[in-house]
Amino acid sequence: MEMPIIISIFVLIIFIVAGRKYRQAKRRYFIQTYTFPPVLRKKFAKLYPELDEIDCTRVLNILRGYFLLCSQSKNNMLAMPSQVVDDAWHQMILFTREYDRFCRLAFGKFLHHTPTEAMQQPTLAQKSIQRTWMLACKAEDIPAKKPHKLPKLFSIDKELKIKNGFIYHLDCAGMQAMTGNNYCASHIGVDSSSSCGGGCSGGSDSSSSCSSCGGGCGGGD
């Protein structure tokens, strides 16, 4: 192959890579600066009247953070580990035209919401929650394998005392005595064999409580 052809191919590759990075940066900036519609805030506040304006803004900001994680996931599904943030996402989806516009500008395609229970294989849910954990920890500079605190996406339900929320624990000692949606988070980054990242609620039917790990998953087409 002649040298001019090699140089042309090399230059073309550089332009392709640069263009991809530019699109990714542009989409990330759009997510970071996106303003949630006031009507969405009102709908969400009506759904959670016990939350004040500061708490509602906090939830929406964490949803923004989840979308940023999705933009980094390389089309892999990311489990949604928070009930309250998942509900905010649901409310956003109801405004179909605005949500479609948001997805096109943020991801270049429509971001579907797939309930974890609808996944065909349990291992997909396990990998999905682990993937969310790893990206969320990285975004907040938390050691994924030896976390000293929970990422916001994993702690918000407990902090806001959300009814039927998903509660994650770093210290999993005594979890077998717990009931409800309680999960061990301390092993998510290191234990790929256990559903929900290494621990489940200690109710009478822990297998079923393990099946969801969160409200839903974002993913590709």
Instruction: Classify residue 90: in a domain, yes or no.
Output: yes
| DSSP string for 46-61 | HH-TTS-HHHHHHHHH
Task: Count the domains in the chain.
Answer: 1
Print the domain residue range for 185: 34-215
pLDDT in tens, 126-136: 888 999 999 99
Per-residue confidence (pLDDT) for residue 15, from 0 to 100: 63
Q: Check whether 120 has a pLDDT greater than 70.
A: no
Place of tokens 């550089």: 14
pLDDT in tens, 204-215: 333 333 334 456
Instruction: Classify residue 21: in a domain, yes or no.
Output: no
Per-residue confidence (pLDDT) for residue 12, from 0 to 100: 65
Q: Which tokens sit at 198?
A: 């290494």
Hey, what long-range contacts does 179-183 have (CB within 8 A, 24 or more apart)?
179/203, 180/209, 181/83, 181/209, 181/212, 183/213
What residues form DSSP beta bridges with 43? none
94 confidence band (pLDDT: 50, 70, 90): very high
Q: Is 219 helix (H, G, I), strand (E, B) or coil?
A: strand
Distances (CA, A) of 208 to 6, 45, 122, 174, 195: 57, 30, 11, 19, 10
Instruction: Classify residue 98: in a domain, yes or no.
Output: yes
**What distance lies between CA 70 and its chain's CA centroid?**
7
pLDDT in tens, 50-65: 999 999 999 999 999 9
Instruction: Classify residue 79: in a domain, yes or no.
Output: yes
How many angstroms separate the CA atoms of 1 and 199, rounded? 57
Q: Check whether 99 has a pLDDT greater than 50.
A: yes
Q: Check whether 164 has a pLDDT greater than 60.
A: yes
Q: Which tokens sit at 216?
A: 């839903």
pTM: 0.79
Q: What is the mean pLDDT of residues 2-8?
A: 68
- 13 exposed, middle or buried (CB, 10 Å; 0-12, 13-18, 19+)? exposed
Instruction: Classify residue 144: in a domain, yes or no.
Output: yes
**Is the separation of the CB atoms in 214 and 116 below 8 Å?**
yes
Per-residue confidence (pLDDT) for residue 122, from 0 to 100: 53
Phi, psi for residue 70 in degrees, rounded to 5 = -60, -35
Instruction: Classify residue 9: in a domain, yes or no.
Output: no
Instruction: Classify residue 4: in a domain, yes or no.
Output: no
Q: Which tokens sit at 95?
A: 């405004």
Instruction: Classify residue 159: in a domain, yes or no.
Output: yes
pLDDT in tens, 9-42: 666 677 666 667 888 899 999 999 999 999 999 9
How many angstroms separate the CA atoms of 165 and 158, rounded? 7
Q: What is the mean pLDDT of residues 60-83?
A: 94
Q: What is the CA radius of gyration of the chain?
A: 19
